[in-house]
């Protein structure tokens, strides 16, 4: 299959960008796709979510960016679970790189060269988690990718950041990366009980079309808990709505895979069973 380089990008923090990058990458690996997750954020949240300490003495993206002698193989690290998932961990030194790189033209193009090197040809998917602010690494992530997914929290202020993000992608596409395109808008923290959330979904459909909206990620505390246990959602809470939702997103993105894990759909089945029991109970009451 043709390699796909997907960046999860949004200027607005708190939209589930890193959580989505981690769980989509893990889901692709579960589906048998050889996947690497690139953490480009000095906060190191994607790395931490999969068990990599930002203080551990291991090679990180920063080392490869500032040292021309290092290759991508020098910093690739397999993730404990699932198999087929590899990590390029971040370090807090990436904050310094934002300043250093702006002064060094050779360093500025280093990220794209790393992701397009021969060592990366083995991967089916490259998933990139950039910083949440528009800086050097954010823009270079867009240049290194060929597909963009924009996570959008289903809140009112998210619509403004979505519009700004779309304009930025179009600008990068028109100037430096003609292959870059938006492949989906991912609604996160969705709750159907909140009317505003449904209004946001309808507004996105109106402006971008039904086909551009990826399956909804429902609000689920298990998703927020998983990074604290250094696991993706499929290992931390496989019976959760979050695991179901992210698996559905992965299957939609790949189009030719099915993710199977113990516990998938358990909450949905229990909810349907409870609904049937309530209907049966009401029918019994009416007969009396």
**What pLDDT, on the 0 to 100 scale, is given for residue 109?**
75
What region, left, alpha or beta, does residue 62 occupy, with left being phi > 0 and alpha being psi -120 to 50 degrees? alpha
Q: What is the pTM of this model?
A: 0.92
- What CA–CA distance (Å, rounded) separates 33 from 26? 9
- What CA–CA distance (Å, rounded) separates 7 from 138? 10
**What pLDDT, on the 0 to 100 scale, is given for residue 269?**
72
| Helix, strand, coil in percent for the chain, rounding step 5 | 50, 15, 35
- What CA–CA distance (Å, rounded) separates 264 from 270? 12
Token output for 13: 């923090």
Token output for 5: 């380089």
- Return the H-helix or E-strand segment holding 221: helix 221-225
Q: Map out the domains of the chain with their CATH numbers.
A: 4-262 (3.40.50.300)
Q: What is the dihedral of CA 134, 135, 140, 143, to 10 degrees?
A: 30
**Cα 1 to chain centroid, rounded:** 21
- Residue by residue, pLDDT tens for the chain (288 residues) are 789 999 999 988 889 999 999 999 999 999 999 999 999 999 999 999 999 998 888 999 999 998 888 888 899 999 999 999 999 999 999 998 887 776 676 766 788 888 888 888 999 999 999 999 888 899 999 999 999 999 999 887 788 889 999 999 999 999 999 999 999 999 999 988 787 888 889 999 999 999 999 999 999 999 999 999 999 999 999 999 999 999 999 999 999 998 988 888 777 777 677 767 667 667 767 666
Residue with tokens 């039904």: 210
What are the φ/ψ torsions at residue 242 (nearest 5 degrees)? -60, -45
- What CA–CA distance (Å, rounded) separates 168 from 187? 19
**What pLDDT, on the 0 to 100 scale, is given for residue 284?**
66
User: Residues near 243 by Cβ (< 8 Å), separated by ≥ 6?
Assistant: 222, 233, 234, 237, 261, 263, 264
What are the φ/ψ torsions at residue 60 (nearest 5 degrees)? -130, 175
Q: What is the dihedral of CA 154, 156, 158, 161, to 10 degrees?
A: 160
Peptide linkage before 213 cis (omega within 30 of 0): no
- What CA–CA distance (Å, rounded) separates 182 from 229? 32
Token output for 204: 């996105």
User: Residues near 170 by Cβ (< 8 Å), separated by ≥ 6?
Assistant: none
Token output for 30: 């579960």
**What pLDDT, on the 0 to 100 scale, is given for residue 5?**
97
Query: From residue 4, how far is each of 7, 33, 35, 77, 213 by CA, in Å?
Result: 10, 11, 10, 20, 19
DSSP of 64-83, one letter per residue? HHH-TT--GGGT-EE-SSST
Residue with tokens 């998983």: 226
- What CA–CA distance (Å, rounded) separates 222 from 233? 7
């Amino acid at each position: 299959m043709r390699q796909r380089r997907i960046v999860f990008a949004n200027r607005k923090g708190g939209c589930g960008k890193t959580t989505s990058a981690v769980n989509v990458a893990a889901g692709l690996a579960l589906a048998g796709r050889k996947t690497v997750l690139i953490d480009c954020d000095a906060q190191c949240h994607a790395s931490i979510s999969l068990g990599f300490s930002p203080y551990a003495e291991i090679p990180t993206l920063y080392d490869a960016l500032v040292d021309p002698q290092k290759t991508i193989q020098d910093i690739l690290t397999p993730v404990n679970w699932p198999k087929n998932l590899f990590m390029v961990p971040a370090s807090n030194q990436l904050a310094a790189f934002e300043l250093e790189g702006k002064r060094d033209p050779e360093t500025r193009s280093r990220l794209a060269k790393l992701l397009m090197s021969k060592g990366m040809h083995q991967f089916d998917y490259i998933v990139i988690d950039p910083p949440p602010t528009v800086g050097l690494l954010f823009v270079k992530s867009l240049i290194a990718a060929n597909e963009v997914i924009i996570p959008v929290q289903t809140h009112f202020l998210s619509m403004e950041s979505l519009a700004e993000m779309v304009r930025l992608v179009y600008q990068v596409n028109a100037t430096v990366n003609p292959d870059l395109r938006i492949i989906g808008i991912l609604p996160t923290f969705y709750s159907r009980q909140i009317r505003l959330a449904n209004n946001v979904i309808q507004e996105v459909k109106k402006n971008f079309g039904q086909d551009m909206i990826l399956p909804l990620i429902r609000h689920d505390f298990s998703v927020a808990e998983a990074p604290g246990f250094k696991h993706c959602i499929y290992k931390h809470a496989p019976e959760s709505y979050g695991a179901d939702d992210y698996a559905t997103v992965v299957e939609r993105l790949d189009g030719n895979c099915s993710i199977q894990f113990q516990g998938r759909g358990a909450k949905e089945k229990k909810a349907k069973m409870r609904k049937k029991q309530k209907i049966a109970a009401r029918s019994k009451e009416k007969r009396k």
